Structure 1
Amino acid sequence: MERVTSKPDVCGGRPCIRDTRIEIAVILDGLAEGMSEPDLMDHYPQLTRDDIHACLAYAADLAHESVWKTGTL
């Protein structure tokens, strides 16, 4: 996922589109609220269709992660 980066000094370390301050969550929220790809690209001119697809791939990867119980308190 070359298009998705996280840097501690950019947007508090939250995942963003590479070389921007556009957070992945902002794009996913827009899509969830019904924005189309062209709407998002109009709102964020530096955003490309490939960037949006990278956001979806990032979300899909997270959805496939498992959480394992390691102990009890």
Structure 2
Amino acid sequence: MNQRIQIDPLVCHGKPVIRGTRVLVSTVLGALGAGDSMETLLEDYPSIDARDIAAALEFASRLSDYQVSSYETVS
């Protein structure tokens, strides 16, 4: 889905992480959702950069973008 996001059953039990790190995508998203700035995240997790944070946001966006199909009524 994204070159910067890795899902590997041998890394963090298969949870999505920033590639080459053990920083969970959910950790990045949770920190942003709680109001942390990008600068704070970069200070707290020096192994990631701004492109990784953008990739985490894109990953979440794609996961949450689902299509709804209408159902036919069967009589």
Shorter-chain TM-score: what band? 0.7 to 0.9
Identity score, percent: 35
TM-score (norm 1): 0.88
- Equivalent in the alignment of 1:51: 52
**RMSD over equivalenced CA pairs, Å:** 1.3
Residue type of the partner of 1:21?
A: R
- Equivalent in the alignment of 1:36: 37
Residue type of the partner of 1:39?
A: T
Q: Does 1:63 align with 2:58?
A: no
Please give the alpha-carbon distance, in whole angstroms, between the structure 2 residues aligned to 1:13 and 1:34: 26
Q: What is the SS of the residue equivalent to 2:54? A: helix
Q: How many residues align?
A: 68
Q: What is the SS of the residue equivalent to 2:27? A: helix
Note the C-alpha offset of 1:67: 7.2
Q: Does 1:18 align with 2:29?
A: no
Moved over 3 A (4+): none
TM-score (norm 2): 0.86
Q: What is the SS of the residue equivalent to 1:7? A: coil
